[in-house]
């Protein structure tokens, strides 16, 4: 997890287009300036970052479903529930499951676990639209390779 540049997924553990399921891994940083304010003497990962980590996991799933032709922009977060503190150094398992593919939108069900214990969950809706620029798409494809996106599903940039 690279909080400072808002990259919250370290690695894709598995991604199944057929089953509409993505599992990713991420390690919560041991040190981060965020803990100076959140909170002194009680460092925990902010809930908004947990939501974003779920959104990024769902984003990888949707990129696979759209074959990197369209980008998913987070539009709605439904009833997010933060069930437990997430502390520095925690290894997270992030899961996103496809609930529905609509016309121009996708809905997913997501959760975050640590040591098999549910930490938070939410459903999310994304609008999908063509990449706003070729540079953006190339960046996303490079990131896909970095996180271990199944190579056969990653297009050539350009």
Partner 1 sequence: MSSTFDTVANIIAETCDIPRENIKPESHAIDDLGIDSLDFLDIAFAIDKAFGIKLPLERWTQEVNEGKATTEQYFVLSNLCERIDELKAAKGA
Which residues in this chain contact partner 1 in the complex, by CB under 8 A?
Answer: 75-76, 100-105, 107, 125, 127
3-state SS record for 66-120 = CCCCEEEEEEEEEEEEECCCCCCCCEEEEEEEEEEECCCEEEEEEEEEECCEEEE
Contacts of 41 (CB under 8 A, 6+ apart): none
Q: Is 144 helix (H, G, I), strand (E, B) or coil?
A: helix
Nearer to partner 1, 103 or 156 (CB): 103
Nearer to partner 1, 89 or 102 (CB): 102
CB 101 → partner 1: shortest distance, Å? Answer: 8
Nearer to partner 1, 38 or 127 (CB): 127
CB 75 → partner 1: shortest distance, Å? Answer: 6
Query: Which residues are catalytically annotated?
Result: 38
CB 108 → partner 1: shortest distance, Å? Answer: 11
């Amino acid at each position: 997890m690279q909080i400072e540049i808002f990259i919250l997924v370290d690695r894709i553990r598995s991604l199944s287009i057929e089953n509409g399921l993505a599992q990713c891994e991420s390690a919560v940083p041991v040190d981060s300036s965020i803990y100076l304010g959140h909170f002194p003497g009680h460092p925990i990962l902010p809930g908004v970052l947990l939501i974003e980590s779920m959104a990024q996991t769902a984003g990888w799933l949707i990129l696979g479903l759209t074959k990197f032709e369209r980008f998913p922009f987070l539009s709605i977060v439904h009833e997010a529930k933060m069930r437990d503190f997430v502390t520095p150094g925690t290894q997270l398992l992030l899961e996103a499951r496809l609930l529905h593919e609509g016309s121009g939108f996708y809905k997913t069900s997501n959760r975050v676990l640590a040591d098999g214990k549910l930490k938070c969950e939410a459903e999310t809706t994304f609008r999908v639209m063509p990449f706003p620029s070729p540079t953006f798409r190339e960046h996303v494809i490079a990131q896909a390779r970095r996180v271990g996106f199944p190579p056969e599903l990653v297009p050539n940039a350009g």
